Chains A and B, each alone.
Chain A
Amino acid sequence: MVHLLQILINGLASGAVYALFALGYTLVFSVLGVINFAHGAVFTIGGYLTYLLIGGAVGANGLLAGLQLPLALPFWLALGLAGAGSALVSLVVEAVAFRPLRKRQAEPLLSLISSLGAGVVLVNLVQLLMGAESYSIPSSTLAGLPAALNLGGAQIRTVQLLLLLVATLLLVLLTLWLEGSRGGKALQAVSEDPVTARLLGIDSGAMIRLAFAVSGFLAGVAGGLVGLSVSIAGPYFGIGYGLKGLGVLVLGGLGSVPGAVLGGLIVGLAEALVPSDFSGYKDGVAFAILFLVLLLRPRGLLGKPLASKV
């Protein structure tokens, strides 16, 4: 008999990861009005980078077969560095798949396709280098922490609690940054009205790069956390999360930060409530909720109404 608290924590933990994922989409969408389809690949890379940085060895199938970094960083340091590396990858995606099209004032739909292409290339690159096998990040890298806690009779995996804590911390920091800092406000100004932002002296190109870097960092950290709590199930493991993240994004309302968080938690909890005998139908449940919400509220739960043209 699974304890309700356990289900709740598990649901919130995976929901928090979905929220991190969807926030990355949201940041880029809010400044460009386009979904970055390479986001799932950046998440994947974050997972692999974390694995390598804790000193994990590459399997026998990739070009890097047998490689093992001569360092075994503590998980938290590895996770932060993997986030930074993912931010760089995200900046490269912007420079290659988005900026050239933007300079030519191409249709936004075209950069959606070019980002999809960039994502496929990145995933294939990972496969080429690391092989197709799955890797797991042992929880022994969290030195000193017990594997599970007993909370009121429920066995809660420590990893799930950590996932929830880290994701919550990042969400709070991101919100504080967006609402309180000069850069965050400038980013919101670009998202609301790029021309007016330029007339105020805000460099919209720099703000777009900032959005990509932050979204890449969030994706990379999410990848590392999932690698720890579940596993890195091969180069394509980001794609499923990518689709789920898109669903969460639409469920919460395109471009809404609190919407992305709320959407993530709802999907995570709904999945956790699916009995384990039917766990194969988790995705079906998640997308059925999305479908129902969109029937009732086409702009998502917290989607903003169109800017008033007073």
Chain B
Amino acid sequence: MSTPAAPPLLALRGVSVRYGPISALQDIDLQIQQGELVALLGSNGAGKSTTLRAISRLVKPVAGLIEWRGRSLARTATERTVRLGIGHCPEGRRVLARQSVAVNLELGAYLRRDRRAIARDLQRCYERFPRLGERRSQPAGSLSGGEQQMLAIARSLMGRPRLLLLDEPSLGLAPLLVAEVMAILQQLHREGLTILLVEQNAHAALAIADRGVVLQAGSISLSGSAAELMAHPDLKDTYLGEGEPGDG
């Protein structure tokens, strides 16, 4: 599955993050190979979003190293991580509510200068997400929650990332929409995109992931292939807190 010779696309080595006096992540080790879909699981406050924020440099680790294709990101600004190929689709979707769907997508390609390729990607994006095509001139704030999630994912794709960080894309969506989002992620994965998927909905995430990593109070407590984790007897009760609602 993975090619052991090449350096991993992304590697976290002993990463710790603090918010003032509160320790959010302790000594995280995590590697992602080109082409993988890795699910990062855990209950609320376990440090999943903080891990993504550390990778895209929105928070600076107090210890440890984050490497992108073998090179440290320690001196890279958030804006630069986008240029390197890290797309971060943030928690709560964060579409630009006052801007139209089309402008949101255009801004997803902000750093690209290849106008023709951008136009082609936009066309492909409207084919992949027909609802966005129908609503391209409407303000993004007027879309439904599911459509906003699709827009947030589509906007990240417009930047042509090599690694897509996705923060809880299923949050607040009805089961049918969760299944739809997961099907799209699975399709992107098949097309070769590397994905780090943060989810509370472990069942839905593991159904499409190659492997999973479970965070508990800021540390990795369990990891393994998706099949192993799915079969793990204590996954829900011990590691993720109570069973979660709305499994697709």
Distance from B184 Cβ to chain A, minimum over Cβ atoms (Å): 20
CB interface residues, B 22-57, toward A, < 8 Å: 56
Distance from A299 Cβ to chain B, minimum over Cβ atoms (Å): 15
Complex-state Cα separation, A308 to B58, whole angstroms = 23
Most A C-beta atoms less than 10 A away, residue of B77, B96, B103: B96
Q: A198 contacts which chain B residues (CB < 8 A)?
A: 58, 78-79
Across the interface, A310 reaches (CB within 8 A) one of B77, B98, B110, B141, namely B141
Q: A133 contacts which chain B residues (CB < 8 A)?
A: none
Q: Is the CB–CB distance between A200 and B98 below 8 Å?
A: no
Complex-state Cα separation, A193 to B141, whole angstroms = 13
Say yes or no: A201-B96 contact (C-beta < 8 A), given A186-B110, A310-B148.
no
Q: Does B163 contact A (CB under 8 A)?
A: no
Q: Is the CB–CB distance between A189 and B99 below 8 Å?
A: yes
Across the interface, B98 reaches (CB within 8 A) one of A186, A201, A204, A304, namely A304
Q: Does B159 contact A (CB under 8 A)?
A: yes
Say yes or no: A202-B79 contact (C-beta < 8 A), given A185-B106, A186-B107.
yes
Distance from A128 Cβ to chain B, minimum over Cβ atoms (Å): 40
Q: B103 contacts which chain A residues (CB < 8 A)?
A: 185
Complex-state Cα separation, A199 to B97, whole angstroms = 16
Q: A200 contacts which chain B residues (CB < 8 A)?
A: 82, 107-108, 110, 155, 159
Say yes or no: A185-B99 contact (C-beta < 8 A), given A193-B94, A195-B58, A201-B111.
yes
Closest to A192 in B: B96
Q: B70-108 interface mask toward A, CB cutoff 8 Å, 1 = contact, 0 = none? A: 000000011100110000101000101111000100111
Q: Does A103 contact B (CB under 8 A)?
A: no
Complex-state Cα separation, A192 to B108, whole angstroms = 15
Q: A201 contacts which chain B residues (CB < 8 A)?
A: 79, 82-83, 110-111, 159
Q: A195 contacts which chain B residues (CB < 8 A)?
A: 58, 90, 94
Q: B58 contacts which chain A residues (CB < 8 A)?
A: 195, 198-199
CB interface residues, A 164-215, toward B, < 8 Å: 182, 185-186, 188-189, 192-193, 195-204
Q: Is the CB–CB distance between A202 and B107 below 8 Å?
A: yes
Distance from B112 Cβ to chain A, minimum over Cβ atoms (Å): 9
Q: Does A296 contact B (CB under 8 A)?
A: no
Q: Is the CB–CB distance between B99 and A196 below 8 Å?
A: no
Q: Is the CB–CB distance between A307 and B107 below 8 Å?
A: no
Q: Is the CB–CB distance between B159 and A307 below 8 Å?
A: no
Distance from A101 Cβ to chain B, minimum over Cβ atoms (Å): 19
Q: Is the CB–CB distance between A192 and B78 below 8 Å?
A: no
Q: B145 contacts which chain A residues (CB < 8 A)?
A: 310
Q: B90 contacts which chain A residues (CB < 8 A)?
A: 195-196, 199
Across the interface, B56 reaches (CB within 8 A) one of A182, A185, A197, A199, namely A199
Q: A196-B94, A200-B155 are in contact. List 6 more A-B contacts (CB 8 A).
A: A186-B110, A196-B96, A201-B79, A201-B111, A202-B110, A308-B141
* Interface of A toward B, CB cutoff 8 Å: 182, 185-186, 188-189, 192-193, 195-204, 304, 307-308, 310
List 29 A–B pairs whose Cβ atoms lie within 8 Å, in order of A's numbering. Answer: A185-B99, A185-B107, A186-B107, A188-B99, A189-B107, A192-B97, A192-B98, A193-B94, A193-B96, A196-B90, A196-B94, A198-B78, A198-B79, A199-B56, A199-B58, A199-B88, A199-B90, A199-B94, A200-B82, A200-B110, A200-B159, A201-B110, A201-B111, A202-B79, A203-B79, A308-B97, A308-B141, A310-B97, A310-B141
